[in-house]
Amino acid sequence: MGTTSADAPTGSGGSAEPHDRQQRLVESLGLAESGEDSRQARLDRITRLARTTLGVAASNITVLDGDRAWFPSAQGLPAAPIPRSETFCDTTVRLGEALQVRDAAADPRFSALRAVTDHGVRFAASEPLRDSLGNIVATLCVFDTEPRELTDGELLTLQDLASWAEQELVASTEMRLAGEAQASMLPEEAFRGTDWEIEGTCVPALAVGGDFFDYGVSHGVAHLRVGDVMGKGAAAALVGAGVRSALRGTREAVTAGVDLGITVTQTARSLLEDLERTSSFVTLFEAAIDLEDGHVRYVDGGCGLALHLHPDGSFEHLRSDDRPLGVLPDDHWTEHTFEMAPGDSLLVFSDGILDVVGDHAGWQERVAKLAHAATDLPSLLGQISQLARRRTVLDDVTVLGVKRRGTGQEVSA
């Protein structure tokens, strides 16, 4: 990050940023001007540290939004929005580089700013904060009431703090977009049929992961899946979207009776290049259920976290030796079957459930007891979600449940 001194001529080294484009860049951050954004506390740490470490009277992070400037974090100066033209940061954005102003009162570009006339600001330094494409989306500024210059060490400290603030803005934005991508892969509502219900939930962890679940009904066959892409963030969410889309494309063949092992194998091989390029693999539970007779066909690709539960509290742990998708190029997957009688349930989890129950060896019994005690499928999913939110889980917790109602059972609301 270079620094342009206000005592030197600025020339034409920077190009003006149209206000409407700047506004679109700010909108892409998804920052909440109300201060309710969870990033505000993290940004406050940076501005506080800038103020104390550099020994200045004030510091802030400034967002230029159209003709306005507002401050997601401010220390020592008012935080109310002001006109863009009243900021030092407007010059920083127009120059496209860092700015130092030794004595703003003696500089005709800044001497009439209210920060100078009303709040006594003399010294200002501003570092641009850029998005992943290099666009300036905000600035980190420090101010003092006496003329001064930053030493080389102080300038390096300001640059380091700006890099930290930049990372908070951009990384948080990428995680927000990844979260939106992940959420877009989830069904909008539960399936409630005459004799069947299907519902799922996904509780994100500290970082967005590659979990997804999906279901749909076609010609009397319910198609459902739970997947978990290795990794976090936008890349994992995008890989998950591709896997889900590819598997959805096999629905007609599966409904027609094609072996599920064949369709999963074909899908895995079609995705192999993408998985290798992103160094990813995907654990997967894929199933097709005949809603007339309860016949279930499934493939387990490295998941190992599915339970077939009965009304008396007993259960079978569905197992397979098949590997996740993307591990070896010549892998193939095998179809397995079982029957769901009235009153039976099927629960499929991502590995975040192991953090929830806190017992990797006996998780099946813990979950089976929860399921047996729950009044219905929505209440069970709600209990698991509450447990996940009360604990600091390191991975997303995804649960997909299928219930075949017994005689006389009502459809849950």
d(CA 218, CA 232): 32
Regarding whether 159 and 76 lie in a shared domain, the answer is yes
pLDDT at 296 over 90: yes
Q: What is the pTM of this model?
A: 0.61
d(CA 343, CA 2): 69
**Structure-token match 């319910």, residue found:** 222
> Last residue of some domain: 180, 214, 248?
180
Regarding whether 268 and 175 lie in a shared domain, the answer is no
Q: What CATH code is carried by the domain that includes residue 237? A: 3.60.40.10
Q: Nearest to residue 157, comparing CAs of 296, 7, 49?
A: 49
| pLDDT tens column, 180-211 | 555 666 677 899 998 999 999 887 765 555 77
> Last residue of some domain: 180, 198, 229?
180
Regarding whether 191 and 176 lie in a shared domain, the answer is no
| pLDDT tens column, 82-127 | 999 999 999 998 999 999 999 999 999 999 999 999 999 999 999 9
**Residues of the domain holding 227:** 187-404
Task: Classify residue 299: in a domain, yes or no.
Answer: yes
| pLDDT tens column, 227-282 | 988 866 567 777 888 888 899 999 999 999 999 999 999 999 999 988 888 888 99
Task: Classify residue 211: in a domain, yes or no.
Answer: yes
Handedness of CA 203, 205, 208, 209 (dihedral sign): negative
User: 226 with 400: CB under 8 angstroms?
Assistant: yes
User: 338 with 346: CB under 8 angstroms?
Assistant: no
| Domain total in the chain | 2
User: 357 with 363: CB under 8 angstroms?
Assistant: yes
> Last residue of some domain: 125, 158, 180?
180
Regarding whether 276 and 172 lie in a shared domain, the answer is no
Regarding whether 399 and 285 lie in a shared domain, the answer is yes
pLDDT value at residue 175: 54
Regarding whether 285 and 400 lie in a shared domain, the answer is yes
Regarding whether 280 and 388 lie in a shared domain, the answer is yes
Regarding whether 330 and 214 lie in a shared domain, the answer is yes
Regarding whether 85 and 211 lie in a shared domain, the answer is no
